Amino acid sequence: MDFLQPSSWDEALAVRAERPDALPIAGGTDVMVELNFDRRRPGALLDLTRVGELQEWSIDDGTVRLGAGVPYGRVITELGDRLPGLAMAARTVGSPQIRVRGTVGGNLGSASPAGDAHPPLLAAGAEVEVASAARGTRRIPVAEFFTGVKRNALEPDELIAAVHVRTARGPQQFCKVGTRNAMVIAVSAFALALHPDRQAVGTGIGSAAPTPRRAAEAEEFLAGELDWAGRAALPESLAQAFGERVAAAAAPIDDVRGTAAYRRHSLAVLARRAATWAWDDLRRAA
């Protein structure tokens, strides 16, 4: 096994192209587990922690460009106001020690259906910026980024550069169910973003399908039913109906962490509650 340590983004892309057998590593919170548990022996590790470009974030025209190497801890402290859904999710990632190291880029790279960052990115309609030495940069809507269980749309010579997320125009919520009150992988997770500027609703479901996914039909339903102009209280029946539609969008399985039936049930509850909280926030803000 080799240890490849580029110090610039261009160099990283060149190395990526040369060494398709190299496994990118950033915070190490997924990769090192695979190595320590003897589940993976790549030809090389491609360490991205020396690539300064990845460690930065910036705002342009109301959209945050979040470098792939920015750890969760910084998302919480530096971006909590602009990306509240992502920050709420970041707070539930592992432990403080994990949040110091783990990155949103790494979460996307692993593409686990249980990745905590994915539902808020889906709800916010984020785009993943990827690049290769040969073809330069392209942007992939996050909803199209996840292609299967722990699979994503990256080509073998590509690396994740950043994720682009519109700053919140309305309330956002993130809810995660686990069987322990800290440091737990999601049994199910749900993210909601209200976009009052365009009278739209965004959703993201985690741990309840082969990939993180939106509940598109539920989004449209709720956006159509909400009293955007009058901001009347959200009827419980509407919240309930939204929850049922979110649950219907899931395709969960039974596994050691939970049952498919419970995952569906919990999503309905989470979506109902999240919609109520978010709408109440919007009404209060008015």
Partner 1 sequence: MRVTTTVNGTERTADDVWPGESLLHLLRERLGLPGAKNACEQGECGSCTVYLDGEPVCACLVAAGQAVGREVTTVEGLAPGQSLHPVQEAFVEAGAVQCGFCTPGLVVAAHDLLARVPEPSDPEIREALAGNLCRCTGYEKILDAVRLAARRRATR
Partner 2 sequence: MTTAQTAARTTGRIGENAQRPDGTLKVTGEFAYASDLWHDDMVWGVTLRSPHPHARIRRIDVTEALTVPGVSAVLTADDVPGENAFGLEHADQPVLAAEFVRYEGEPVALVAADHPETARRAAARIRVDYEVLPALTDARRALDDDAPLVHPGGNLVRHLRLRRGAERPTAPVVVSLDFEVGMQDQAFLGPESGLAVPAEDGGVDLYVATQWLHVDQRQICLALGMPPEKVRLTLAGVGGAFGGREDLSVHVHACLLALRTGRPVKMSYGREESFHGHVHRHPATMTYEFGAECDGTLVYARAHVLLDGGAYASSTAAVVGNAGTLGLGPYRFPSVAVDAYGVFTHNPPCGAMRGFGCVQAAFAHEALMDELAAAVGVDPVEIRRRNGVQEGDRNITGQVIDSAAPVAELLQRVADLPLPPALPEQPDLRDLPGAVGNTTHGEGVRRGVGYSVTYKNVGFSEGFDDYSTARVRLQVTGGEAVATVHTAAAEVGQGLVTVQQQIARTELGVEQVVVVPADTAVGSAGSTSASRQTYVTGGAVKAACEAVRTAVLQRAAIALGRPVAGLALDGDKVVGAGGEVLAGLADVLGDDAVEETVEWRHRPTHAVDPETGQGDAHVQFAFSAHRAVVDVDTELGLVKVVALDTAQDVGKAINPDAVVGQIHGGSAQGMGLALMEEVVVTDGHVRNPSFTDYLLPTVLDVPPMRVEVLEYADPHAPYGVRGVGEPPTISSGPAVAAAVRAACGKPLRRVPIRPEHITCT
Q: Which is nearer to partner 2, 161 or 185 (CB)?
A: 185
One-letter amino acid of 176: K
Q: Which is nearer to partner 2, 63 or 240 (CB)?
A: 240
Please state the closest distance from residue 147 (CB atom) to partner 2, in A: 24
Gap between the Cα atoms of 69 and 60, Å rounded: 19
Q: Establish if 96 lies at the interface with partner 1 (CB under 8 A).
A: yes
Per-residue binding string, partner 1, 104-143, x by CB under 8 A, is ----------------------------------------
- Give the residue, chosen from 8, 18, 20, 33, that forms a contact with partner 1 under the rule CB under 8 A: 33
∠ Cα 113 114 117 (to 5°): 100
One-letter amino acid of 214: R
**Positions in the binding site for partner 2 (CB under 8 A):** 33, 36-38, 88, 91-92, 173-185, 187, 256-259, 261-262, 264-266, 269-270, 273, 277
Beta bridge partners of 46: 4, 24
Please state the closest distance from residue 176 (CB atom) to partner 2, in A: 4
Q: In what order do the strands lie in the sheet with 127-132?
A: 57-60, 63-67, 158-166, 127-132, 136-141
Q: What residues line the site for partner 1 (CB under 8 A)?
A: 1-3, 5, 25, 27-29, 31-33, 35-37, 41, 44-45, 47, 49, 73, 94-98, 100-101, 182-183
